[in-house]
A and B are shown apart, each in its own frame.
Chain A
Amino acid sequence: MKKISGSWYFLIVIILIYLFLLIFNFNLFSATLNFFYNILLKIIPIIILVFVLMIIFNYFITPKFMLKHFKSKGIKKWFFVIIGGILSTGPIYMWYPLLADLKQKGLSYGLIACFLYNRAIKIPLLAIAIFYFGWRYILILTFVMIFMSIIQGIIINKIIKEK
Chain B
Amino acid sequence: MLERSLKKSISKAAKGLWKSFPMILGTILLVSLISTLIPKSFYTSVFSKNVFLDSLIGGLIGSISAGTPITSYIFGGELLSQGVSLFAVTAFLVAWVTVGIIQIPAESALLGKKFAFIRNITAFILAIIVAIITVLIFNII
Give the interface of A toward B (CB within 8 A). Answer: 5, 7-8, 10-11, 14-15, 17-18, 21, 28, 31-33, 35-36, 39-40, 43, 47, 50-51, 54-56, 58-59, 89-90, 92-93, 96-97, 99-100, 103, 109, 112-113, 116-117, 119-120, 122, 125, 128-129, 131-133, 136-137, 140-141, 144-145, 148, 151-152, 155-156, 159-160
Contact = CB atoms under 8 A, between A and B. Distances in A.
Given A11-B29, A120-B97, 14 more contacts: A14-B30, A21-B33, A32-B32, A32-B33, A56-B9, A92-B100, A103-B111, A113-B122, A125-B69, A132-B76, A132-B80, A141-B94, A141-B130, A159-B118
Interface of B: 5-6, 8-10, 12-14, 16-17, 19-20, 22-26, 28-33, 35-37, 67, 69-70, 73-74, 76-78, 80, 86, 90, 93-94, 97-98, 100, 103, 106-107, 110-112, 114-115, 118-119, 122-123, 126, 129-130, 133-134, 137-138, 141
Contact of B106 (A56, A93, A144): A93
Given A140-B138, A140-B141, A160 B115 contact: yes
Contacts of A133: 73, 76-77, 80
A36 B130 contact: no
A92 B103 contact: yes
Main secondary structure of the interface of B (DSSP, over half): helix
A35 B126 contact: no
A128 B17 CA distance: 14
Contact of B22 (A8, A36, A117): A8
Contact of B10 (A15, A55, A116): A55
B130 A58 contact: no
B129 A40 contact: no
